[in-house]
Structures are given as C-alpha cells and as structure tokens.
Amino acid sequence: MRTAALRQLSIFFNMAIVIFAVSAVAIFVFIQPVKAQEETPAPEAEIISAEEAAPAPVPTEEEVEQPTETLPTELVEVIQESVAVAPPPEEINEDTAVTAQDLGAASEPRVLPDSPFYIFKRWGRSVRRLVIRNPVARAEEDLRVANQKLLEARRLAELRGEQAADKVGSMVEEAGRDYARIREAAMDIRSDDSERAERFKDLLADRTFKMQRMFDRIEERLPEEALARIRENKEQALERAGETLTGIDEPERLAERLSKAADAQSGSEFKHFKNLEVLKDLRDRVPEEAREAIRRAEENGLRRLKEDIEGAPIQEREKFDDYVRGLPGDAVRHFEIIDDLRTKGELAPDFLIKLEAVKTKAAAKFQEQFERFADAPELQDKMMDRFREGEGVDLRAAEQLRGQVSPEMAEKIRVANDEGINRFREKFAEDPNALRAADFARKALENPDAVDFAVLERIRENLAPEQQDFVRQVEDEGASRAAVEFDRRGDEFAKRFADPNVPQSLRVLEDIKERLPEEGRAGIERAIEAHRTRFEEHIRELDDPRVLGNIQEAIGQDEELKRRFESGDPEFFMKLENRKDDLRRQGEGKLSEIKERVRPLFENPEAPIPEDIPEDVKRELIKARERVREMGPEGPFPTT
C-alpha cells in the first residue's frame, strides 16, 4: 500500500512539473513580448522636422542646365515621379486603415510565423477548432483565425519587408483556406435562423470589406516579384467570401446586408469609393443569380458617395483627384467607378468637369501600375484580363483608357479588348437581339454620351458586314436621342455628353451626322461642337506633360482624326505642344529643387532626412544609401 501511495505521489509530482513547464512556456509565448518580433530595422537616419532642416535654395536656370549628375538613376526616376504627383491626402489613410481591434483582436500580433514559438499558436488554434461542434461557432472561429493570419502577414511585411515575402505569401494562402472552410459550412448557416447566425452573416459582410483593405496594405510592403502570389490569393479569398455570402443569404437580404456593412466602414467622406471597388470585384466572382443583389448594393454605394461628395466642404472636394491618384487598389476599377459617378450620379455640371481630370489621373495610375510589373509579365497579362471579358463597362473603360495612355499600352488594351469583342460577336451571331440587350447599347439608346459612340464603333469594326447594320441602327437611334436631349436640355446636357477622354468620338459623331436626315443634323452638330470645345478645355486644364504627350501621339497616329481636329482649329497641335512645353519647364524647376536637396543627403549617409521629403523619395534614398554601404561610393550602380 505504501508503494502504491508513493507511486501516486510520484505521478502527481510529475504532472505538476509538466503543468508548470507548459504554463511557463505559454506565459513566455503569449504574454511576454518577444523581443525578436518587436525589433525593427535600425533607422537609416534620424528623421527631423522640416523647420529644423534648412532647405537648399532654389537653383538658378544655369544650375538647372548643368549636365553633370551623381545621383543613382533609380533615385532620379522616383524624384521625377514625385514631382509629377501631388502628396496623397490624409483621407487615403483613413479609408485603407484596418486596426487589430477592427478585426476583433486585442492588439497587433506579437508572435509571428517566423518565430520558433509560432507552433504553439498553431496547436492552440487546432485544438480550439476541434472541440467546437456548432457550425456557426466553427465558422466564427475560422473567420477569426483567417483575420489573425492576415494581421500576422501584414505585421511581417511591415517588419521584414521583402525578406519575409515567402512567409507572407504562405500566411495569405492559409487565410484563404480558412475562408474555404467557412464556405463549406454555408448551407448549415443558411438554414440556421438563430440570432447568432444573423450576427455572423453581418460579421462576414463587414470582414469582406476589411479583408480587401488588408490585402492592399500587405501589397504596399512587398516587392513586385512577390505580388503575383499575393494577388492570386486575394482573388481566391474574395471569391470564397462571395460564394459564402451568396450561399448563406437570400439575394434580397444580401444587398441590404452589404449596404449596411459598407455604411459601417470607418473612413472619410470618400470611403464609399473604396467600398465600390470591393463590390465590383465581388460581383465578378459570385454566381450569376446573385449579381443583381451586388448591383443594388453598388447603386446604394454610388448614391452614398455622391451625397458625401456634395455634402463635403469645397476644400475637401478639391482633394478628390489626388485621392483617386494615390489610392491603392485596382486602377481600372477606380476608372469605372468615376465613369459610373459621371454617367449615373446626376452631379452638378461643374463637378462633372472635375471628374474628367480625375479620370485622367486614374488612367495615369493604371499605366504606372502596368509599367511597375515590367519584370512580371504574368501580372501585366492579368491586368488585361478584364478587357477580354467584352462586357459593357469594360468596353467603356477600354475606350477611354486608350485615349489617355501611351500608344504602346493603348495597343495592348486594343488587342485584349478585341478578344472580348470576338466573344460577344459569337453571342451576337446566335442571337441578333443580343446587341440591343447589352448594357452599353441600352445606355446609348436611353442616355447617350460621347463614349457610347466610340464603343459602338469599336464593336462595329469587329463584326461581320451583315451584323454591322444592327450597330449602325443603334448608333443612329442614339444620335437622334442625343439631338433631342440637346434641344431640350441645352448646355446642361452638353456638359454631360462631351467626354474629352475619348477624342476618337469626334470622328464617329461626324460620320453619324452624314447618315442622318437634314432635319436631324442640327442636334448632332451641337454634340460635335460641345465635344470639340470640351476637349480643348481639357487640354488646357491637364497638369501632366506625359498624359498630354500620350494624347498627342494617339491623335497624331490617326490621320483622319488628326485632320478633323485641325479642321476645327488649325492651331490645335501647336497649342497642345505649347501647353506640354510649359508643364515640362515647370516640372524641371521642381525636379532640380528636390534633386539639389537630395544630393547632399545621398552623399552623406549619416545626414538626417527632413520630414518634408516625399515618402517615395525617402524610401529610395535609404535604399541607395544602403547600396553605397555595401559596395562603396564607387559601387556599380548607374547614375543619371
């Protein structure tokens, strides 16, 4: 008996030791900060205020023309880009920020996937999920873990940057698998009418918007070669979220739930712009029967955005173009949202004109995003995918972008768009009424603008001769409707009709005029004059010489279009060239000023960097300094 008692005492003692050891590890892992996780790379230099750093004097004209340059080429290119782009407004941070508390966590994660102690987190999550039997509770746990993994991925990207790109990609993939688990439980959740199930549906809608913001933040911290993997998983996660949302809700309820979640997102008066990007992406990834519900949520979001813009103070509205220019995300989606706002928002005519400048900046952003992936052709090809779809919105975006980007990029868009139009042609061959049923044809017949006629011409060019008559009929009916609206609404309709982003519409409208009877030509002549006048005004308002150069090349390559512009104003190209030269001279002055401030900071790596140096220039300057440390001042980096 004594032996048995001693044996029991020994077992109890051993168990106590094990419990104590496990508790110590848990306290160390989950409560004590792990210094290795919190250490951030040592700053390259102390950041001081603009007031403490005496700015270099503006160089004279003679100094600007000095041919000698000692700054690395990449740094000079970043400086040139920063000169052309205004600093991003604070509203961007407000509309893209997601805190740990927003996702239900108490704080930012401290034990990250590159920690040897992360395995304890995995074990804890697995055990916790294993003991949950209720489908809704398990879905809640899967969503919580997916959000935690995105937080961990973002924190890794912030602390380690490109060094942690593979690990960040793995965490994003894991989060996607957690979303797939939620999708598998959709039918059980749909049949559950409990209050808990309703709360989860609301939570999933909310997290869908926040998830996209998280992905944008992660992408900002990673090199180009890592983005293909991140974007693929971003699309998969959104697709799974969309399938789950449509699987757990009736379409009518889904539209209401998404609108409620969008309204609840934190942010500025422009926040619904980002929400609309998420809704458009979501609509493309849900079953056809659920798309109408997403469209209704889009309509609500567009109405909210219009109300918020109109209700904002004038000084806040003036930030909208720079907001769109600097907002992370899909530039083509941004372009489409602006087009929706212009054609469906019923905004004041003066703000409509401002939207044309906003669209121009969105087009410039699209070109920059495309060029950024010069070494990642799979990402460039992915960016062209939507132009292959052949849907009306994408055809409108394609036509407008082609008039704003470089000729090389315009050709890539045209080739991709031709694939989409060819698919539409096959559908049209089987059903001749398909043309009138298409969104872009309905719009041309009900509320036409200059873009509609450019789109119809593109479609007509790709159809068989016997099919082209249907398109001409739509063109003529749309032109007649436009003539009636010009007579009825006058200048107000002229401002809505003319769109300087599609200079090619001038040729299309003049061709249509020749087909109309004499009594119907007066209205279309007003449309032509409104389009020409607005385009010339737009040229005078543009502030980016690169965009002006793109427009000049696009028109110059089309001899017929060039002739028609010159027939309206023989000095048209001279005015365009003069405007471009003025902007170039202004840019060179700003460029020289920043270069003169950056040069001593590059030559003296220990010099503090003033706060008012643009962030992108600051990042590239730090990289250049690091290369100097690694290779010495005579290192093999090219200079300009």
Write out the DSSP string of 285-327: TS-GGGHHHHHHHHHHHHHHHHHHHHHS-HHHHTTHHHHHHH-
- For residue 57, pLDDT over 70 is answered with no
- List, in order, residues 6 or more apart from 277 with CB less than 8 Å away: 212, 329, 330, 333, 334, 337
383-to-42, 100, 312, 387 alpha-carbon distances in Å: 36, 31, 33, 8
CA distances from 514 to 481, 484, 533 (A): 16, 17, 21
CB 206 within 8 Å of CB 261? yes
Q: According to the per-residue pLDDT averaged within each range, which of 139-148, 347-356, 474-483, 496-505 is highest?
A: 139-148
pTM over 0.75: yes
Q: Residues 418-443: pLDDT tens digits?
A: 888 887 777 777 776 777 777 778 88
pLDDT at 70 over 70: no
User: Which percentage of the chain shows pLDDT scores above 70?
Assistant: 82
What's the token pair of residue 45?
Answer: 């230099």
Across the chain, what does the average pLDDT equal?
80
**Predicted pLDDT of residue 65:** 46
Helix (H, G, I), strand (E, B), or coil: what is residue 257?
Answer: helix
Q: What is the pLDDT of residues 133-150, one digit of tens each?
A: 999 999 999 999 999 999
pLDDT value of residue 67: 44
Mean pLDDT of 42-59: 43
Cβ–Cβ under 8 Å, residues 365 and 331: yes
Given a contact cutoff of 8 angstroms between Cβ atoms, the answer to whether 511 and 454 are in contact is: no
In the chain, what is the greatest distance between 2 CA atoms, to the nearest angstrom? Answer: 119
| Residues 6+ away with beta carbon under 8 Å from 362 | 324, 325, 331, 334, 335, 338
- Pairing state between β 609-610 and 47-48: parallel
Scored b (16 or more CB within 10 A) or e, 411-442 reads: ebbeebbbebbeebbeebeeeeebbeebebbe
The tokens for 315 are 């000084």
pLDDT of residue 115: 92
**According to the model, what pLDDT value does residue 29 have?**
41
Q: Which residue has the higher pLDDT, 536 or 394?
A: 536
Surface-to-core class of residue 529, CB atoms within 10 Å of its CB (0-12 exposed, 13-18 middle, 19+ buried): middle
What is the average per-residue pLDDT within 271-290?
91
> Percentage of the chain with pLDDT > 90?
24
